[in-house]
Amino acid sequence: MLRFLASLATVLAFAGAAHAQPDVVTPKKAPTVQKTSTQVVHPPAAKPATTPQSLRGTRYGGFAPSLPVAPPDLDTTSPRTLSLLNVNSKEELTVTYWSDGTYHRDALNQLNHFLRDSQNNQQTEMDPLLFDVLWHTMNVTGYHGQVEVLSAYRSPQTNAWLASVSRGVARDSQHMNGNAMDIRFPGVPVFKIRQAGRSLQMGGVGFYPRSGFVHLDTGPIRYW
The mean pLDDT values, 10 residues at a time, for the chain of 224 residues are 49 45 45 49 53 43 50 94 97 98 98 96 97 98 97 93 79 91 98 97 96 96 94
pLDDT score of 83: 98
pLDDT at 3: 54
Q: What is the structure's pLDDT at 39? A: 54
- pLDDT of res. 68: 53
How confident is the model at residue 24, as a pLDDT? 43
3-state secondary structure of 161: helix
How many separate domains does the chain show?
A: 1
Domain membership flag for residue 52: no
Q: Is residue 13 part of a domain?
A: no
Classify residue 57: in a domain, yes or no.
no
Q: Which domain holds residue 153?
A: 81-217
Encode burial over 129-150: b for 16+ CB neighbours within 10 A, e otherwise: ebbbbbbbbbbbbebeeebbbb
- Residue 196 within a domain: yes
Any domain includes 65 = no
Contact between 111 and 152 under an 8 Å Cβ cutoff? The reply is: no
In a domain, 5, yes or no: no
Establish if 58 belongs to a structural domain. Answer: no
- The reported pLDDT for the residue numbered 28 is 46
The per-residue pLDDT for 183 is 98
Domain of residue 188, CATH code: 3.30.1380
Residue 50 lies in a domain: no
